[in-house]
A and B are shown apart, each in its own frame.
Chain A
């Protein structure tokens, strides 16, 4: 356990380089550079806001902010699983030649996704303000929201990176599963829009709770209650323990499966 983190600390410069490269390679030689991080979620948001506000007859302006506040933590999760989850396989040549801490790769992947997400937050927020997002002191709680959700997504990144080594097919299945989970998470609709008897099922989804840490300060302008924080921290902690145990059990076998 302490070895897990002390190795990360020892290889911090390596992790910084991996994060830099992940960001550089994404934006290099695209005319709009990192603007693309913003454009694609904005377009997703615009399309879904248009469709859902007509479908569900919500006031459009409020709805954009509502979707935006749910999309941020969602993108954090889905990118961590797809980008972070691919890191061990993508670096198999390097891993086969140099003894490097394997978990540094998915953790660096998740950090890269986090940095990306924070860029998106800043720029999307400008748009959200125009659309009428409330500026309140509740927004100051967002760094803490990021911290809790990051713990969860970094654990997911590590977990799936190991899963993908042993079951390569899972990469394809996971893409579909993520899409299903996205629609099962109240990002584009409020949970109250669903029939009452199905709601408990949707509440089994950990993302249902985690997106509140963003939605309440951004959309509703209030700091989430203490019990929301504790619940989310518990979810993230459980996921971290699962990923950590999973990794430490399989760590020695990973090299033989690359």
Chain B
């Protein structure tokens, strides 16, 4: 297998904030008649000349205050946002760990949802069939797999969604607050599966406000501040300084 790699070069991203999202047509029309129309939006730099190189085997944590550009950086790396300037190159299949239930339709059966889920990840048909078998075994859903998920109990639904989210093992894994909103008891039961899932990834990029998790998972920490990389280095060095800055 080729070495996975992420290279972010001089990436800047101008975000345009629209103050009234719903009134765009009206603005477009009135804008035709007024010579000078009021600014309906403001620009700001969500990412400012970010350079980052992540190599095979790294587990990297991204920290920073709210709005520092952590999630935006993840979206640029994932290819969801196109940077305004600069470039992002990735080697290896890149996937986010989806929040529990993303892309699930309540009217569809568990099996139908898994087919969609597999297709979102770009799997082939035979891979999806294997995935369904594996998930039925893990979740113990049995014949409920062909029942619309809206009839599932919360526990069944969680098991299915968790199993689906961790079934496809990407080379580059993107985690945005992975444990947020999870059911603690179930996550306890699923720890082993989660661990296997994490171990399978050759690169993990992890954003979290829970610094203990960063401490446990990551050897390297990137500290984002107002769209810039403020510090980038070993976890043991960067994290204490970040903690001090936050506490002070």
A99 interfacial contact with B, CB 8 Å: yes
Partner pick for B79 among A21, A25, A99, CB 8 A cutoff: A99
Number of B interface residues, CB 8 Å?
36
A241 to B28, CA, bound (A): 24
- Whether the Cβ atoms of A166 and B24 lie closer than 8 Å is yes
A169 to B120, CA, bound (A): 30
Query: Which size class do A's interface residues fall under?
Result: 20 to 34
A window 6-60: CB within 8 A of B: 10-11, 13-14, 16-18, 20-21, 24-25, 28-29
- Whether the Cβ atoms of A24 and B122 lie closer than 8 Å is no
A98 interfacial contact with B, CB 8 Å: yes
| Closest Cβ neighbor of A169 among chain B residues | B25
Given contacts A24-B108, A95-B80, A252-B82, contact A14 B25 (CB under 8 A): no
A167 interfacial contact with B, CB 8 Å: yes
| Closest Cβ neighbor of B82 among chain A residues | A252
- Whether the Cβ atoms of A25 and B26 lie closer than 8 Å is no
CB-CB under 8 A from B116, the residues of chain A are 17-18, 21
B78 interfacial contact with A, CB 8 Å: yes
CB-CB under 8 A from B95, the residues of chain A are 98
CB-CB under 8 A from A99, the residues of chain B are 78-80, 94
Partner pick for B98 among A97, A166, A255, CB 8 A cutoff: A97
A115 interfacial contact with B, CB 8 Å: no
- Whether the Cβ atoms of B112 and A169 lie closer than 8 Å is no
B16 interfacial contact with A, CB 8 Å: yes
B105 interfacial contact with A, CB 8 Å: yes
- Whether the Cβ atoms of B119 and A16 lie closer than 8 Å is yes
A94 to B75, CA, bound (A): 13
Partner pick for A97 among B82, B96, B125, CB 8 A cutoff: B96
B115 interfacial contact with A, CB 8 Å: yes
A35 to B101, CA, bound (A): 31
Given contacts A167-B28, A168-B22, contact A96 B80 (CB under 8 A): yes
